[in-house]
Amino acid sequence: MHTHLNMLFAATNDSYFSPSQCALIVHELAELDMSSIPSEQTSNVLEFLNMQLLHQQVDVDIRKRIEDLAAGLASRLSTM
């Protein structure tokens, strides 16, 4: 598993990530297939991605992949 994703997976509600850590996490997520994200992390990853998208913290070159991943995770969450 990727180092930065492990940080995200271990995060709690009071966790803080620096902007550079967020960027690294987003880039790692952009390279993953949704099936690589454990089902118990669906809400956590989706919340993280939604915040990054809301605050426009996703590079233009990977934005579509991140939006697609977020949509897929939202769909997964609705069927859980």
The length of the chain, given as a count of residues: 80
- State whether the Cα torsion 31-66-80-1 is positive or negative: positive
Question: Could you tell me the pTM of the whole model?
Answer: 0.90
Distance CA 18, CA 38 (A): 24
> 9: Cβ–Cβ under 8 A, 6 or more apart, which residues?
1, 38, 41, 44
The string of pLDDT tens digits covering residues 11-67 is 877 788 999 999 999 999 999 999 999 999 999 999 999 999 999 999 999 999 999
pLDDT of residue 2: 61
pLDDT above 90: residue 3: no
Distance CA 45, CA 22 (A): 12
